[in-house]
Amino acid sequence: MLHVCPACGHYAPELLFDKEKSEVICPDCGHRTAFPRLPLFLITGSSCAGKSTLTRELFLHNNRVAAIESDILWDEKWRKAGDNFRAYRAMWLRVCQNISHAGKPVVLCGCCDPGQFADQPEAGFFSGLHFLAVVCRDEVLEHRMDRRGLTDPETRQGNLSFNRWFWENHNKTNPPITLLDTSELSPSEAAAQAGRWIDTILEKEMPYGTAIS
């Protein structure tokens, strides 16, 4: 909704931000609109590592955040676009901002690379982007793929490679990624650890709540 200026009515695909005042500035007329600038939490990881199960637990049991699954809007057209999913990530940042405008931070679950979000203009909607990668040991991932019935060798190898990528690169990305090893955790235990990670960031970035002056 912030892309349509309430003063001049013009639609602006890219906006200007005054981050200190949590205001968006219309590039056409200069009108300023205050909005709640909340943190955005992104849970990533390879297929079968446990991220969707963890997010489901957050959805059911953590009322401080709105937990959603990015795959609900997936379409092969995003892959065919050939832009490293740029338009897809921008769309989701806008969706998350509209949800957080109601005063509740969003947890977005889906396979991603932090750079696909961090360099988007829409990242300015948030006080920070925070990434948690759900990972596990190779043999655990193999077992989970067996249990799900994933037998295609190329798919299995892709999942293993993506899982290892997080182990090897989590502290090299911008922003860096926090790892959550679910090898020995139940879904509720994993969700509890993720919840503590979220709460720590919320206490730092939202110490006085979400009210706008």
Domains defined along the chain, listed by start = 1-35 (no CATH), 36-205 (3.40.50.300)
Decide: helix, strand or coil at residue 175: coil
Task: State the DSSP code for 63.
Answer: T
Rounded to the nearest 10°, the torsion over CA 80, 122, 98, 91 is 0
Q: What was the pLDDT predicted at 9? A: 87
With CA atoms as reference, report the closest residue to 105 among 1, 4, 204, 21. 204
- Higher model confidence: residue 167 or residue 102? 167
The Cα 105–Cα 67 span in angstroms is 9
Decide: 187 and 57 in contact? Cβ < 8 Å: yes
Residue 208: how many CB atoms within 10 A of its CB?
5
Give tens-digit pLDDT for 12-67: 877 888 888 788 899 889 999 888 889 999 999 999 999 999 999 999 998 889 99
> Does 210 score more than 50 pLDDT?
no
Confidence bin at 212 (pLDDT 50/70/90): very low
Q: What was the pLDDT predicted at 207? A: 55
State mean pLDDT over 122-144.
95
Decide: 41 and 65 in contact? Cβ < 8 Å: yes
Decide: 131 and 113 in contact? Cβ < 8 Å: no
Q: What's the chain's average pLDDT? A: 91
Task: State the DSSP code for 65.
Answer: S
H or E element at residue 174: none
Average the pLDDT over each of 58-62, 65-69, 130-134, 207-211 and give the range with the smallest value: 207-211
Q: What is the pTM of this model?
A: 0.88
Q: What was the pLDDT predicted at 209? A: 47
- Higher model confidence: residue 123 or residue 211? 123
Decide: 61 and 50 in contact? Cβ < 8 Å: no
Range with the largest mean pLDDT of 33-47, 116-130, 133-147: 133-147
> Does 213 score more than 50 pLDDT?
no
State mean pLDDT over 111-125.
90
Average the pLDDT over each of 29-38, 104-113, 165-174 and give the range with the smallest value: 29-38
